[in-house]
Amino acid sequence: MQQGRLRAVDGCSIGVMQRLCGVRQQQPQSSIVSDISVPAVVPVSQTPTPYFKERFARNRERVKEVLGAGKTLVGSTIVVKGWIKQMREGDKGALAFVELNDGSCVAGLQVVADKSKTEGFAELLACGGVGACIACEGLVVESPGKGQLTEMAATKIDVLGAVADPSTYPLKGKKNSLEFMRENAHLRPRSNLSGAAMRIRNAMAFATHKFFNERGFVYVHTPLITASDCEGAGEMFSVTTLLPEDPKEDIKRTPDGAIDYAKDFFGRRTHLTVSGQLNVETHNCALSDVYTFGPTFRAENSNTTRHLAEFWMIEPEIAFADLSDDMDLAEDFLKYCTHYALTHCREDLEFFDARVEKGLIARLSNVVNSEQFIRLTYTKALEIITQPEVLKKAKFENVPKWGDDLNSEHERYLTEQIYKQPVIITDYPAAIKAFYMRQNPDGKTVAAMDVLVPKIGEIIGGAQRE
């Protein structure tokens, strides 16, 4: 069976770590005799989905649609609502220029308020500026300024939420560090960086479900609380009701001094799951191709961008498949999500390309445009990166020998310097992979694979199962 994981990384760009693990070859089950006669093929209903009149409709236009319409809305009266990103006065206080953003895109809509023409002008000036929430009604007009085709000439502005003390409001329309935004987490989504990351993450979640749904996979919800340690690492968060309300009171224990989990809520020791793999495997043996996509938890005390206490993983399981199928699915999935981001999140990616990582869009395009990811064995990869000329040029901190796991520096060198595109490495030494991976005929390696990409290293891992 195949099992895959997607690990979301706090940060920018496409911001994901994905791990697809596992493919087990299955033999068709024997026939089951039943007293109930079931047709071999259940006919698909020809009845069309009943039409219903949709009731929900926004009482505003989204900034994204207004800006995306170009000049086609010029002359139209519309309503927009959002939060002030920038505000300044002009013409000696007779005008106010507001950059309004509602979170639908990076860019904001310029709203021009005129003291003599805009109802609520005084309230706007008194709202506290940046951070205030307002509703604007007005006419879409061509903009005389640079960088925007249209703007709104406001006829009415309502202040929905003022900033009580602008001097203490954390966001003042300037660039703030990631650490500063973490300290003001309640406002972090209003930053351009976090907003773009959330929109891309939303698109990637949708693309993931779309990808698997289009290929006939069944989405399975696996438990978050479990008594099983799926990976055997022992780095799990415990879930218990045994902690007493009085800190001076001792936890219930057995006669030999051990914690008495029989008195706990579930009657045994339980944890937050590190993987939905074990649960989704049982569904794989009944529903064939399945996947789970949900939060997982690791109590690994490591302060790096590659280790998170909580993250979301995608874990597909493929029935009746081998390692080649596993690699094909992983490559298709990565290309699909990358293409989806390039198509549906262009503005956000352009923001990241300009402000966070130059060349990001070109790197993502390279993933999609690769005819096929390079595929080579672990042994071959090791031969390449340990050649004398490579070692002299690369200056690795650690020089691997056969049997060692490849570090990120080795993986990135293969993708960024040797092949300049994604690479899939297969047939790893059995000692550095999980026990359930299928052993190869050589007795030393297993049918495992890792997908490596430039700037990241390993982004997907997979294997065929015993």
Residue 88 belongs to domain with CATH number: 2.40.50.140
Residue 51: inside a domain? no
Residue 174: inside a domain? no
List the pLDDT tens digit at each of the 466 positions of the chain: 444 333 333 333 333 333 343 344 443 333 333 333 344 444 555 666 668 888 899 999 999 999 999 999 999 999 999 999 999 999 999 999 999 999 999 999 999 999 999 999 999 999 999 999 999 999 999 999 888 899 999 999 999 999 999 999 998 877 888 899 999 999 999 999 999 999 999 999 999 999 999 999 999 999 999 998 877 655 899 999 999 888 888 888 999 989 999 999 999 999 999 999 889 999 999 999 999 999 999 998 887 777 889 999 999 999 999 999 999 999 999 999 999 999 999 999 999 999 999 999 999 999 999 999 999 999 999 999 999 999 999 999 999 999 999 999 999 999 999 999 999 999 999 999 988 899 999 999 999 999 999 999 999 989 998 7
Indicate whether 373 and 444 sit together in one domain: yes
Residue 315: inside a domain? yes
Q: Are 356 and 175 in contact (CB under 8 A)?
A: no
| pLDDT value at residue 21 | 37
Indicate whether 76 and 99 sit together in one domain: yes
Q: What is the DSSP letter of 72?
A: T
Indicate whether 305 and 263 sit together in one domain: no
Indicate whether 211 and 334 sit together in one domain: yes
Indicate whether 455 and 334 sit together in one domain: yes
Indicate whether 163 and 302 sit together in one domain: no
Indicate whether 16 and 85 sit together in one domain: no
- Which residues have CB under 8 Å from 240's CB, separation 6+? 261, 264, 265, 269, 270
- Which residues have CB under 8 Å from 113's CB, separation 6+? 95, 96, 97, 98, 121, 124, 154, 157
Domain that holds residue 389: 3-26+201-227+276-465
| pLDDT value at residue 18 | 39
> Helix count (H) and strand count (E) of the chain?
11, 18
Domain count, the chain: 3
Residue 31: inside a domain? no
Residue 193: inside a domain? no
Question: Which residues are registered as beta bridge partners of 218?
Answer: 290
Q: Are 155 and 135 in contact (CB under 8 A)?
A: no
Dihedral angle computed from the Cα positions of residues 444, 448, 451 and 457, in that order, rounded to the nearest 10 degrees: -50
| pLDDT value at residue 302 | 80
Instruction: State the pTM of this model.
Output: 0.86
Indicate whether 253 and 304 sit together in one domain: no
* CATH code of residue 351: 3.30.930.10
Indicate whether 242 and 213 sit together in one domain: no
What kind and span of H or E run contains 355?
helix 346-355
The CA distances from residue 31 to 28, 34, 228, in Å, are 9, 9, 32
Gap between the Cα atoms of 276 and 299, Å rounded: 16
Indicate whether 258 and 378 sit together in one domain: no
